[in-house]
Chains A and B, each alone.
Chain A
Amino acid sequence: MTDKLPYKVTLSIPFETHEQATIAKNTLSPDPIVKSVDEFNIEYEINDNILQILFSGASNRIIRVTISNTIDNLKTILECIDEFEGKQDHLFEIDGEKFTG
């Protein structure tokens, strides 16, 4: 049987902890990157502290678009972890509205 998605890229992202890798996976996985399931598939796996993302596509074009998009999102996740991990929530007010963060 011929592989309908013969273009493949595996991205391996090592995190400091298993929990960080899980946060990244749970943040990325709910949102489909493209609608077409015939042309593209994505799988997430965690081995210890390493997040592996396997992209399979029908063309180089779809792989190019989906990888760059995913890496953009990953960079935002990394920045958020770097900024907020380990910090205590505190209460603050803006225009009389109460928030935690």
Chain B
Amino acid sequence: MALIPTATYQAPDIPHREFHPGDGPHTTSGTTTQISDHVINAGGEDRDKPTPHKDTPMGNLRAQLTTLQDQLNVFLTERMKLDKQGKSNEQELERKILDEAEDEEED
């Protein structure tokens, strides 16, 4: 029996979103948990690289969990960027309102 890890996400603007590792292939080398591309491109070696998974239920679960971790990390990083963007838009709007109020006072 395959052991498949899943996740659900919920936020004020997203009532329900599901994550499923999919058909694969799955490995233990996560794209979001390895050393940075910059270091790899400079010839660096990831000394903490995880061992490859065995073809056992626990081994395959570990590989699938790595895929799920990548999916969650990518999604949440994107959401963090949007949060940051939203905050800076709010600040920009606040600055505009304050500037306009000052201009009106000067008039």
- Mark A residues whose CB is within 8 Å of B: 6-16, 59-61, 63-64, 67-68, 71-72, 74-75, 78-79, 81-82, 85
Contacts and interface: CB of A to CB of B under 8 A. Distances in A.
Contacts of B68: 71
Given A11-B7, A12-B6, A6 B12 contact: yes
Contacts of B61: 13-15, 78
Interface in B50-64: 50-51, 54, 56-59, 61-62
Interface of B: 3-12, 28, 32-33, 50-51, 54, 56-59, 61-62, 65-66, 68-69, 72-73, 76-77, 79-80, 83
A56 B85 CA distance: 22
Contact of B62 (A16, A61, A75, A85): A75
Given A68-B72, A75-B28, A75-B62, A15 B3 contact: yes
A18 to B, nearest CB: 13
A16 B58 contact: yes
B51 A79 contact: yes
A16 B59 CA distance: 12
A59 B62 contact: no
Contact of B11 (A7, A12, A64): A7
A74 B58 CA distance: 11
Contact of A81 (B4, B58, B73): B58
Given A9-B8, A9-B9, 13 more contacts: A6-B12, A8-B9, A8-B11, A13-B61, A14-B5, A14-B61, A16-B57, A64-B73, A67-B69, A67-B73, A67-B76, A78-B61, A79-B50
A16 B2 CA distance: 9
Contacts of B9: 8-9
A24 to B, nearest CB: 11
A64 B80 contact: yes
Contact of A72 (B33, B51, B54): B33
Contacts of A60: 11, 76, 79-80, 83
